[in-house]
Structure 1
Amino acid sequence: MSVLREDIEDLQRRYEEGLAAEAVGADERALLDEFLTALEAGEIRAAEREDGGWAANSWVKQGILLNFGLREIETHTHGGVDYHDVLPLRGTGDLPGRGTRNTPDGTVVRRGAYVGGDAILMSPAFVNIGAYVGDGTLVDSCDTVGSAAQIGDNVKLGANTLIGGVLEPVEAAPVVVEDDVSLGAGCRVTSGFVVGEGSVVGENTLLTPRIPVYDLVEEEIVYGELPPERRAFSRFVESSVGEHDLFDGGAYKPAVVATDVGAETLEATEREDALRDN
């Protein structure tokens, strides 16, 4: 992939020097298509593990942005309906051979998204460019997996879950949901938050770097991540403006509480997995 990276970085320099979409020729279009194909094959990713954490691949995120900046809007047809975008949707003919299924009437996978084997995409769900959806993962109804988001293996995204996209700045790591995580219905994960491996998150929980995580296992407050093997849920704690005259009865701010996953939670998750497999 070193040659592809060099070509994308060279194209980025030319774009910064004034290359416009209307001046893009066959060679540039072929490079943009090659880049998207590599994303769809999982050969390149917008973020990867590095020194025990996650780091963005800036050149990959630049390549994604170039596909917006150097393409013109075209008319495409999907399901008999015209739509107008710079990118077509991703072809899904490769999914059945890997045991992956996507249900009809609303499941949308944009060009440049990777979808692993034995995965399930329930309609209506949306997977955006640069996203990585691992093997055995369930993307449930009304879920959104944002640009460059990295979803691990055997993850369950409950219905109406939002995984935010992070494209700019290119150095910023995207949202990461590690292996074996279960997110309850209505969860939102945004702004580069990392959900640690094996965690179970209660429904309607907001995970974002601006909201503290009270980790009762290590007895510390952390931001921007949920440690591995935690059971997390939303609570409200006293706000610093609690004594203000405008707040009758006190003011509170959102927080996330994290405890051990526990055997009971794991058993419930295993039962749900068994139901999904049959």
Structure 2
Amino acid sequence: MRHVSTSSPLSPAVDELWERRAELSPADVDARNVVVGAVDLLDRGEARAARPAGDDVVVDERARRAILLSFTVLGMARSQVGDFQHHDRHPLKSSFDGVRVVPGAIARWGSYLAPGVVLMPSFTDIGAYVDAGTTVGTWATVGSCAQIGRNVHLSGGTGIGGVLEPPGAVPVVVEDDVLIGNRAMIVDGARVGQGAVVGAGTILSGSTPVLDVRTGEEIARGRIPARCVAVGGTRQKEFPGGTFGLPCVLVLHHLQPGQRHDKAALDEVLREHGVNT
């Protein structure tokens, strides 16, 4: 998965501020106005830190710079929601048109939540993009700049990693119609293809080998293919000190184009392979 830069809807003034970022502080009102305006565009979904484009991920480096600059030009401020007090440089998100936000859910300003999103008690970080119809389950985390597609279900405790640095780092991408099981972790620029089901407890990083159990062949690293059932596993590797199991992701089943998983079919696939997720 390649990183591809793109033209940005954000002001070029962000780049000028980035070049002299060491000189900036919350006292720089003009700089703060530029950065706040840029992050407001992310908050409304009019700009995105990244977007999938075929096999590539198009990254808006200016958007990421604006987020990083916000830590410099915004001062610490106290806020309160009910009995809970916060002390941070970034306010909480305040625009939730068409979004269901269950008490205990936290979304930071600069994250975008499309109409139809449901937030259970969870955390969505600045720069994240969560598309329509997606559910972010209880205690799930959507990290900074992560890109979550339509009609995705992030089950309880799911961890979607964030990335702001270094320059050129690719955010996590979860494509449309994906189901990610409880306590699964998708981190370090990994990608989950459209319609995939990821078993509970699976850990996928950008360098995790993804293997097809039918052939034993490595399909990819850090990428679960579209329309498949995948679970966490190990594969044996010889070292001078002995044979050890290294983590991998196992693809158990592929759907034909146009097919979608249903609960009965998924349970049958898992039983077939002796997997309980």
TM-score band, normalised by the shorter chain?
A: 0.7 to 0.9
Structure 1 vs Structure 2 CA RMSD: 2.4
1:3–1:262 CA distance, 2 compared to 1 (3 A): closer
2-structure distance, mates of 1:139, 1:257? 24
1:134 aligns with 2:131: yes
AA of the residue aligned to 2:261: L
Describe the shift of the 1:156–1:148 C-alpha distance in structure 2 as closer, same or farther (beyond 3 A): same
Partner of 1:4: 10
CA–CA distance in structure 2, aligned partners of residues 270 and 134 of structure 1: 26
Bigger Cα displacement from structure 2, 43-52 vs 255-264: 255-264
Separation (CA, whole Å) in 1 of partners of 2:8 and 2:170: 21
Q: Deviations over 1:68-113 (max 9, x none)?
A: 1222212121223221111110104x33xx2x20101x21000100
Normalised by the length of structure 1, the TM-score is: 0.85
Name the CA distance, whole Å, in 1 between partners of 2:200 and 2:151. 18
Matches of 2:139 and 2:149 in 1, distance apart? 19
Q: Is residue 65 of structure 1 aligned with residue 65 of structure 2? A: no
CA distance in 2, matches of 1:39, 1:131: 9
Structure 1 partner of 2:208 = 211
Report SS of the residue matched to 2:150: coil
C-alpha displacement at 1:165, in angstroms? 0.5
Distance verdict in 2 for CA 1:152–1:2, change over 3 Å: closer
Change over 3 Å in CA distance of 1:235–1:66 after alignment to 2 = same
- Please give the secondary structure, in 2, of the residue aligned with 1:23: coil
TM-score normalised by structure 2 residue count: 0.85
**1:101 equivalent in structure 2:** 100
Letter in 2 for 1:251: F
- Describe how 1:72-83 pairs up with structure 2 within 5 A: 72-83=75-86
Distance 2:8 2:210 in 1: 39
Normalized per residue, which structure has more strand?
2
Which residue of the partner structure matches residue 227 of structure 2?
A: 229
Tell me, which stretches of 5 or more residues in structure 2 are unaligned? 1-6, 267-277
Q: Alpha-carbon deviation of 1:220?
A: 3.3
Q: How does 1:27-66 map to 2 (within 5 A)?
A: 27-50=30-53, 52-66=55-69
User: 2:247 aligns to what?
Assistant: 254
Q: CA deviation at 1:119?
A: 1.2
Shift of 1:2: 5.5
The aligned residue for residue 24 of structure 1 is: 28
CA contact (8 A) 2:26 2:32 kept: no
Q: CA deviation at 1:3?
A: 6.7
Distance 2:9 2:101 in 1: 33
CA-CA distance at 1:216 after TM superposition: 4.7
CA distance in 2, matches of 1:214, 1:28: 48
Residue 4 to residue 255, structure 1, CA distance change in 2 (3 Å): closer
Deviations 1:181-231 (A, max 9, x none): 100001001100011111000000001123211035784341121111121
Shift of 1:14: 2.7
Q: Which amino acid aligns with 2:91?
A: P
Deviations 1:18-73 (A, max 9, x none): 32214311x32222221121101111111123463113211111111011122221
Contact 1:130 1:148 in 2 (8 A): yes
Give the total of aligned pairs.
257
- Partner SS, residue 36 of structure 1: helix
Secondary structure at 2:233's aligned position in 1? strand
Aligned equivalents of 1:90, 1:269: Cα separation in 2: 39
